[in-house]
Each structure stands twice: as structure tokens, then as C-alpha cells.
């Protein structure tokens, strides 16, 4: 009976666990972002919510070369997918200029398409899973890379 109770408590705690969240840093500087949407589900049901953020924070980074984007998500994260959009010179298709996928809960990505003097919007989808629940959360941020002062 105790074993069954322990299993039920573990399942209940797992199903009530929070989304993992994600921390983004560029050159050691934490990047502010906004939550755009969440999806949570079980085998029986799924719930989706959109936040429709009106203001997406902009981070300006001064670097001689395109800096790497560092990601660290919570323990339940299983994958981080990203899409980079050039706001100053959008792709003719309207889609992203670059996409990437990082397995697990974190890692580093060096964008190939980001150039100095332009502003980019980055969409991050963090997939997560925890025993009987799974989901995805979408975060947005903007970044502008400028040459170092005096260059």
C-alpha cells in the first residue's frame, strides 16, 4: 500500500510541476525576453495559451564578431528550437533567416546570419516533458549587434 501511495504522490507532484523556463545570455549578459505562448498536455488533454506581447525587449551587444547565444533551460526541458528574423531586411518569404535546434536543456549556438548594425527578433521554443505531462513554451527577444566602441 505504501508503494502505491508513493507512486501516486510522485505522479501528482510531477503533473503539477511548472514549465522549465529558459535563461538566454550573450557575451555573459542576460537577455530579457517575454513569454509568448504555452502549451501543456497529458495523454488525455492539451491546453494552449497565447500572451500576445506588445513590447519585446531589445538587447544591444557590442562585439567584433557575431557572439554566441547561450541557453539554459529548466530540468524538464528536452529541446530548444530557435528561429532568427532580420527586422531590418526581412527574408522575401517573411520567414526566419536562420533556424536551429539544441537537444536537451541548454547549450550554445553561433548564428551564421547575424551581422553588425541590424536588429533581429529571436523566437525560442522550449519543449519539456515530465512523467505524465509535456508541453512547449515560446519566448521572444530582440538583439542588435554593434561593433565595439572605437572601431
Out of 17-21, 50-54, 61-65, 102-106, least confident range: 17-21
HEC-encoded secondary structure of the chain: CHHHHHHHHHHHHHHCCCCCCEEEEECCEECCCEEEEEEEECCCCEEEEECCCCCCCEEEEECCCCCCEEEEECCCEEEEEEEEEECCCCCCCCCCCEEEEEECCEEEECCCCCCCCCEEEEEEEEEEEECCEEEEEEEEEEEEEECCCCC
pLDDT 10s digits, 9-55 = 445 444 455 667 899 999 888 999 998 988 888 888 888 888 778 88
Radius of gyration (C-alpha) of the chain in whole angstroms: 18
What average pLDDT does this structure show over 65-94? 92
CATH code of 2-146, in short, is: 2.60.40
Q: What is the pLDDT of residue 7?
A: 52
**Residue 9 forms beta bridges with which residues?**
none
Q: Which residues contact 97 (CB under 8 A, 6 or more apart)?
A: 84, 85, 86, 91, 113
How is residue 136 written as a grid cell?
512547449
pLDDT 10s digits, 115-144 = 889 999 999 999 988 888 888 999 999 999
pLDDT bracket for residue 1 (50, 70, 90): low
Give the Cα separation of 74 and 77 in Å (integer): 6
Residue 93 in this model has a pLDDT that exceeds 80:
yes
Question: Which residue has 506581447 as its cell numbers?
Answer: 53
Residue 104 in this model has a pLDDT that exceeds 90:
yes
- The ranges assigned to domains in the chain are 2-146
pLDDT bracket for residue 8 (50, 70, 90): very low
Q: What is the pLDDT of residue 18?
A: 62
Amino acid at each position: 500500500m505504501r508503494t502505491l501511495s508513493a507512486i501516486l504522490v510522485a505522479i501528482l507532484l510531477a503533473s503539477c510541476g511548472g514549465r522549465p523556463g529558459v535563461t538566454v545570455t550573450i557575451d555573459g549578459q542576460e537577455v530579457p525576453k517575454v513569454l509568448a505562448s504555452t502549451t501543456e498536455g497529458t495523454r488525455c488533454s492539451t491546453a494552449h495559451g497565447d500572451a500576445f506581447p506588445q513590447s519585446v525587449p531589445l538587447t544591444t551587444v557590442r562585439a567584433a564578431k557575431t557572439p554566441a547565444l547561450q541557453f539554459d533551460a529548466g530540468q524538464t526541458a528536452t529541446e530548444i528550437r530557435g528561429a532568427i528574423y532580420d527586422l531590418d531586411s526581412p527574408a522575401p518569404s517573411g520567414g526566419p533567416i536562420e533556424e536551429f535546434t539544441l537537444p536537451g536543456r541548454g547549450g550554445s549556438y553561433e548564428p551564421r546570419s547575424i551581422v553588425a548594425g541590424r536588429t533581429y527578433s529571436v523566437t525560442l521554443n522550449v519543449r519539456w516533458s515530465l512523467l505524465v505531462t509535456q508541453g512547449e513554451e515560446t519566448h521572444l527577444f530582440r538583439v542588435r549587434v554593434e561593433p565595439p566602441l572605437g572601431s
